[in-house]
Amino acid sequence: MQEEGLLSLRPGHVRFPSEEVTARPMHRERVVHYYFITRGLAFPVHHFLCSLLLAYGLQLHNLSPNYYLHIACFVMLCECFLGINPHVGLWKRMFTIQHQGKDAIGCVDFQTQADAKFFNLRERESSSRWKSRWFYVMDVPSGGRGFSLPEFSATASVKKTTAWSHKLGGTEGEEAETLLAQVLSLMETPQLKVTGIHLIAAFIRRRIQPLQARAHPMWAYQGVRHPTRISTVEFRSIEVCQRVRRLTDLGESEPCEIDPPVAPYGPDMPREKSRLVALAFLLDTTVPGGSVEGKKAPETQTTSQDSKGSDQLTKEKAAHTEGASAANPSKASRRSRPDESSIPQATTPASRVLDASAEVQFNERSRSFNEALENVEVINTEAKGKLRQVTKILTTVIRRMSPDGEKGQSSHSVPAAEAASRNDAPANPSGKGQAGTTLFPEQLREVEARLAKLKPDTLGDAQSSKSS
């Protein structure tokens, strides 16, 4: 696992048990089972999984390996096919949490709600052997996260918390219903149907652990050199299928379809903010919480056409699209997302969800820009202070060099003083100036040293950076 990048190679990050039967982790160590890693878990842990464990009052070993695969595919669904961060409201709308058995290891599972659907992942039946393969991993919270995983306790029992109720209300409920409708369209739309095998194959092919904290969400994936990958080595299609079969009950004689008809977001399919509206337009449905207007009619049609005529036009267009798909099914089966350039934007709860990540990125960049401006202000203030100090020293030196003890010729006499200190002036063994006054070489050397540190363009650069 370390060679493939699933576990860190840093010294002290992973520790294997010696002879202990019951786990005894050290400070900040967590007990991890081998089959958790092969199903999408990696450290540091993704904030969504960490939030679920803390909200439900669970430890890592309370879930069986198949439910880690369940959560990993949910993250894949949100980031790669919906273009959003894992949505807690959608999770609560789709699943229930249940406690089964007396043994704390693998005693909690998730079931799909009666009025919802989720992808058939075709998981292998879990055997008790997975409980004996475990090791220790150092839990280091990811950057900006102030909490870590729950500490290991072999004797702690699972107690229900208020989060088990999965209550939805207000905006969260509306957003969840909208996103659930989009998930159902991915699962049930003919010739655009995405399966659980597609979700599993997607993160295996990309060499990304969905349950690992990452610098970028998976919709920003840019290829083999992307920092979210655990390895730069690419799998061939046959290798992807072999790993999919290890996690599922897919038989050797069954075809392994790993290429979804709807391409996941990535370098070849950048995320569009209006995808929810586009799918609703394609299916001739309305988005809950908002409406989707039809395309603008050609100029040959009158603008006074009523809404019934517009609906009829939309249905005819949809029927024409279905007929073209039936005439050429091979092309339709690999059809990508529809062109959304001509689809009007709709203001819906889901569109606000889809724009949330962009807003977060904008706020982060604004914060970084403000910090840069503050740094420029500090540099500018320091430069002004140093300039004032140099001016004061030069004024003092020139005043003392003046034959009458009066203030010299201002700062324009500095080059002359520097020339004298560099022995550019004729030798004067008596140590006297031209007017017979004593020079102060120590002060002049100090002035030269300070001028060397303070470049002439320091203040100019700081002011130009601030204006930019």
CB count, 10 Å around CB of 260? 20
The residue-averaged pLDDT of 132-154 equals 79
Say if residue 323's pLDDT is above 60: no
Say if residue 262's pLDDT is above 50: yes
Handedness of CA 73, 260, 233, 228 (dihedral sign): negative
Give the pLDDT band of residue 307 (cuts 50, 70, 90).
very low
378 vs 326, residue with greater confidence = 378
**Predicted pLDDT at 419:** 45
Instruction: List the structure tokens of 283.
Output: 């299916």
Query: What confidence tens digit (pLDDT) does each residue in 266-295 have?
Result: 988 888 643 443 444 344 444 333 333 333
Say if residue 36's pLDDT is above 50: yes
The residue-averaged pLDDT of 312-340 equals 44
**Predicted pLDDT at 292:** 36
**Predicted pLDDT at 280:** 44
**Predicted pLDDT at 56:** 96
**Predicted pLDDT at 192:** 87
Report the predicted TM-score, pTM, of the whole model to 2 decimal places.
Answer: 0.60
**Predicted pLDDT at 441:** 61
The residue-averaged pLDDT of 170-197 equals 93
User: Cα–Cα distance between 190 and 187 in angstroms, integer?
Assistant: 9
Distances (CA, A) of 92 to 96, 150, 168: 7, 21, 8
Helix (H) or strand (E) holding 256, with range, is: none
The residue-averaged pLDDT of 62-73 equals 95
Number of H helices, E strands in the chain: 15, 5
Which of 11-15, 61-65, 226-230 shows the lowest per-residue confidence on average (mean pLDDT)?
11-15
Instruction: List the structure tokens of 450.
Output: 């300070």
CB count, 10 Å around CB of 350? 27
Average pLDDT for the chain? 74
372 vs 322, residue with greater confidence = 372
Dump the DSSP string for 180-198.
Answer: HHHHHHHHHSTTS---HHH
Say if residue 11's pLDDT is above 60: yes
